[in-house]
Chains A and B, each alone.
Chain A
Amino acid sequence: MVMVLHKKITRTLLEHKAQYIGSILLIIISSLLFTALNISGVNIQDNLAVFRVNNVVEDASFITQNKIDNVAELEEKFQLILEERKQYDYKFDEQATLRILSETKKVDKYAVVKGHLLQKSREILIDQAFAKAHDLDINDELMLENNLFTIVGFMSTPDYIYPLKSVSDMLKNPETFGVAVIAKNDFSKFQNGLTFYSVKFLDSNKSQFKNYLTRNNIIINWLDKEDNNRITFVDGDVNSAIQMGRILPVAILILTILLVSIILWRLLKTEYTEIGTLYTLGYRKKEILNHYLSYPLIISLVGGIIGTIIGLLLVKPMIELFAAFYNLPVITTKFELTYVVLSLFLPLAFLIPSTIFIINRILKKPPLELMRGGGNKVKINFIERRLHLNRFRFSTKFKIREIVRNIPRTILMVAGIAFATMLLLVGFATKDSMDYLIEKNYKDIYQYNYDYIFNTMQFSDDIGGEKLNLAPYTSQEFKNGEKTFVIYGIEKDASLITFTDQNGNKLSLDQTIITKSLADKMKLKVGDRISVENKLNEKKFSITINKIADSYLADVIYMPLDEFNKLNDLPKGSFVEVISKEWLNIDESILLSYTSKEDIINSYNILIKPLRYMIGVIGFTAFIIGLIVIYVVTSLVIEENKKNISLLKILGYQQRELYSLILNSNTILVIIGFLISIPLLFVSLEQYFNAITAEMNFSFPVKLDEINMVIGFVVIILTYQISKFLNKGKINKISMVDTLKSKAE
């Protein structure tokens, strides 16, 4: 008997195929994103973890005034692994620098991605992105300062996962920077190489070790792993992919619940009499429930399975893309059964309970009431009853009633549009926010073109440019414990860095200024006093915040140079950084790093390129989701109005008038959905950006250009028009004669 009932399912599915296909598509998108993002994200995380353990990622690297001769002794004494390293920045061409590193044996051990390990002299391994950007391949020869090297492979190292020239950079650019490794002995071929040390602590002896160095040597530069963008950036990105892989699918599933519930509700209502009849025939409630549950079951399973399969197919290319973007070796890829099971199970977990609830509510009714077709009786809800619409035009009244009549449908429409718009605009907003960050900082705040950082403290007055001193500090007064940031000493009359406050007023440099991003993270106000500790020499002092600068690019504090030097017990006039509008002729051997603004802008433009595809892909997904929701809602409106449409045709409504009356009733909902999506987008993106930049040394203000809002609006309206167009046929198909036969409501 039950089998007979199931024949009906196929017929119903086919009869309303658009609605069910729409629901299935939404679930496919949801499962696909869940599987692809989570599995590749977790794989990357695992790979990273394995890579970091196997290849011994450093805890810190530092530069000292004098060479350390007693490495073995220190390793024993402080329970650490210490490796002396060398680096030399080779000018590859006009604009590109290839940083040559000495081969590592103990810390930050390099991994070969392709090719083989260094075996003999004059062999070199380089990073793949740089190779690609400069048409280099394995077995190619490379002339470095009159020495011929052979490329024997591509490598990655745990301290250059994200190859940045300077640790405070944010943007990598393989066109202008890459790293390479050569044997230690080959390094003697280069003069002026920089010597530095990488350390891995086996015990928590960091401060003892630093103490020892401060007493017996001088630490010129100390960089903890946590403050090293080359090491940490990748974590934020993987996390944000995994976050997306959780938020998006769930949001889409919630939308699907609404959609499927409304479709089922509608189906059940038209089948009241049949349900009543089945009851009187002796069917049990459970059997009827099972019958109706087949719909969400089919939808979730078909959508879940297809989505998971497509998602799984995307895992490998995504991991490879990610590994190539970050210089990462792919060590293992795992199938992550948990996520596959979850991806199949989630749609069921969301849809089945909500549909059981809906079906039960109807099956609870007494058979007699069902038989009488109680469900087809129109209920006038309290809002409709209270509406006083007499002053409106007829078509306006009709549309208002249409919206008020079916509240769940209206909510679905608004929520669907809002969600699609948010998704559509999220890419634009990300790009606009980044643009803002770059524009604002490099045009308005930092007006220098060249930035030189020295590898030792400088005192000379004839280098030129404007002098800065800086050191990394920590403060304990942060919500999750410690916060690291840089404090700069800047000359009072410096002109190449201009800060303004929130209102655009210029701030003078004879006071202590904190950037907005750091102030927000540490919840600091003007007048607050914080105590800080110098990470190089553990010197402690307190400072009072005088002004907050409208800048997000870095978590930093600026104070007058003289005061900085005094607080740090440094000679008056000492500095380690110089900024300048013109290029300065400084001997490279005394430089730790050198950047030009042009490089930064170029890097940014290259980095932003893949974002365009991302915006495209996300935008397209948004378009599809919007189309599904609007299409299904519109088709529901038509179905619910079938009798009315037939009647309106009899009364002499022309096609155009019918379209406008029935199809346009949702226009206002589309506009409302769009309008609420904008503030919603700002709030949620702000949360999201804050979460991913909390541990980074800059923050992201959310910006969205008006033009992109307009584009978003146009796309949404276009989606709306397309789904209206697709539904016109449905209206035309409704017959005038058929409906006259059935008894009306």
Chain B
Amino acid sequence: MFLELTNVNKTYKTGDVSFKALANINFSLEKGNIGVILGPSGSGKSTLLNVIGGIDITDNGAIFVDGKDITELNDRELTNYRREEVGFIFQFYNLIPNLTVYENVEVAANISKNPMKVEEVLDAVGLLDLKDRFPKELSGGQQQRVSIARAIIKKPKLLLCDEPTGALDYNNAIEILKLLTDINKKYNTTILIITHNTAISGIANRIVRLRSGEIIENKYNDNILPAERVEW
């Protein structure tokens, strides 16, 4: 298994109150697969993604990524893991507003050992013409493509997407999903997508459903749809 979580727990403490955000999570994903995590707001989806991405810590349990338990890594190793192996895509893009499109992609290329060429990636997401614009001069869909370009330039093994289409209209959302499936095919990247939009699970190999921090459903998808046939 490329990604494997066993008995992962996560508790938030605010003052004396503690809140269980993830309760005994077990699931796995094969290399090159697309996984979708569904669940209502507050069910712990983002928390789960963050611990897999190494930007938040768990209470206990193990998270194996490509054979390595990332909960065992120290700060430095965790940083290196994020830098070389994971790509992030967020609902609100999180681009750096004062850098151009080109430079926003360079932010990631700059620290990667063996990145692709910025032009090549921008071409792949269809933004080469807009490379000197600033984020606020782009549409939401275009901004999300920049963030995808930024995530894939280092050729990550694992791509983590938190509501990648959450802020987009239908057409733009489909474009982004298509881009993600293309990347999945072209580079054999394992992708984990978080969404509360059930329709999106059509493109996934595996579908996991969360509620109140617990997995309530975990299944294979036998009937995978190409992105352009997804509808809602």
Chain B associates with chain A: yes
Which residues in B have their C-beta under 8 angstroms from that of A389? 103
Which residues in A have their C-beta under 8 angstroms from that of B110? 394-395
Task: Evaluate whether A745 and B136 lie within 8 angstroms (CB atoms) in the complex, with A390-B102, A740-B90 already known.
Answer: yes
How many chain A residues have a CB neighbour from B under 8 Å?
32
Q: Is B168 an interface residue (CB 8 A)?
A: no
B102 touches A650 (CB 8 A): no
B111 touches A652 (CB 8 A): yes
CB distance from A596 to the nearest CB of B (A): 69
Q: Which of A140-178 contact B (CB under 8 A)?
A: none
Bound CA span A643–B83, Å: 18
Contact with A along B85-99 (1 / 0, CB 8 A): 010101011111111
Interface-centre pick from A377, A395, A744 (highest chain B CB count, 10 A): A744
Which residues in B have their C-beta under 8 angstroms from that of A737? 50, 55-56
Q: Which of A718-745 contact B (CB under 8 A)?
A: 736-737, 739-740, 743-745
B107 touches A652 (CB 8 A): no
Task: Evaluate whether A740 and B99 lie within 8 angstroms (CB atoms) in the complex, with A650-B82, A650-B88, A653-B79 already known.
Answer: no
Bound CA span A644–B93, Å: 12
Q: Is B46 an interface residue (CB 8 A)?
A: yes
Contact with A along B33-66 (1 / 0, CB 8 A): 0000000000000100010010110000000000
Which residues in B have their C-beta under 8 angstroms from that of A644? 96
Interface-centre pick from B50, B95, B107 (highest chain A CB count, 10 A): B107
Bound CA span A643–B135, Å: 15
Task: Evaluate whether A654 and B79 lie within 8 angstroms (CB atoms) in the complex, with A377-B136, A394-B110, A395-B110 already known.
Answer: yes
Q: Is B76 an interface residue (CB 8 A)?
A: yes
Q: Is B109 an interface residue (CB 8 A)?
A: yes
Q: Closest chain A residue to B143 by CB distance? A: A744
A380 touches B56 (CB 8 A): no
Which residues in B have their C-beta under 8 angstroms from that of A390? 102
Bound CA span A384–B99, Å: 9
Bound CA span A398–B107, Å: 9
Q: Is B134 an interface residue (CB 8 A)?
A: yes
Q: Is B106 an interface residue (CB 8 A)?
A: yes
Q: Closest chain A residue to B76 by CB distance? A: A654
Which residues in A have their C-beta under 8 angstroms from that of B135? 745
Contacting B95 at CB < 8 Å: which of A401, A649, A744?
Answer: A744
Q: Closest chain A residue to B95 by CB distance? A: A744
CB distance from B86 to the nearest CB of A (A): 8
Contacting B99 at CB < 8 Å: which of A398, A657, A736?
Answer: A398
Bound CA span A683–B58, Å: 63
Contact with B along A615-649 (1 / 0, CB 8 A): 00000000000000000000000000001100111
Contacting A740 at CB < 8 Å: which of B76, B80, B81, B94?
Answer: B94
Bound CA span A32–B136, Å: 48
Interface-centre pick from B56, B79, B108 (highest chain A CB count, 10 A): B79
B94 touches A652 (CB 8 A): no
CB distance from B138 to the nearest CB of A (A): 12
Which residues in A have their C-beta under 8 angstroms from that of B175? none
Contacting A380 at CB < 8 Å: which of B80, B136, B150?
Answer: B136
Q: Is B84 an interface residue (CB 8 A)?
A: yes
Q: Is A269 an interface residue (CB 8 A)?
A: no
CB distance from A742 to the nearest CB of B (A): 8
Bound CA span A644–B102, Å: 16
CB distance from B188 to the nearest CB of A (A): 21
B79 touches A378 (CB 8 A): no
Which residues in A have their C-beta under 8 angstroms from that of B136? 377-378, 380, 745
Bound CA span A405–B103, Å: 15
Bound CA span A651–B94, Å: 11
Q: Which of B134-171 contact A (CB under 8 A)?
A: 134-136, 150, 162
A651 touches B111 (CB 8 A): yes
B94 touches A647 (CB 8 A): yes
Q: Which of A400-422 contact B (CB under 8 A)?
A: 401-402, 405
A744 touches B103 (CB 8 A): no
Q: Which of A648-681 contact B (CB under 8 A)?
A: 648-654, 657
A651 touches B88 (CB 8 A): yes
Q: Closest chain A residue to B93 by CB distance? A: A744
CB distance from B143 to the nearest CB of A (A): 9
- 4 tightest A-B contacts by CB? A652-B83, A378-B97, A652-B82, A394-B110
18 contacts between A and B (CB under 8 A): A378-B97, A380-B97, A380-B134, A398-B99, A398-B103, A401-B99, A402-B98, A649-B55, A650-B53, A651-B82, A652-B84, A653-B83, A654-B76, A736-B55, A740-B50, A740-B90, A740-B94, A744-B93
Apart from A380-B97, A654-B79, list 17 A-B contacts with CB within 8 A: A378-B98, A378-B136, A394-B103, A394-B109, A395-B110, A401-B103, A644-B96, A650-B53, A650-B88, A651-B82, A651-B150, A652-B79, A654-B83, A736-B50, A744-B93, A744-B95, A745-B135
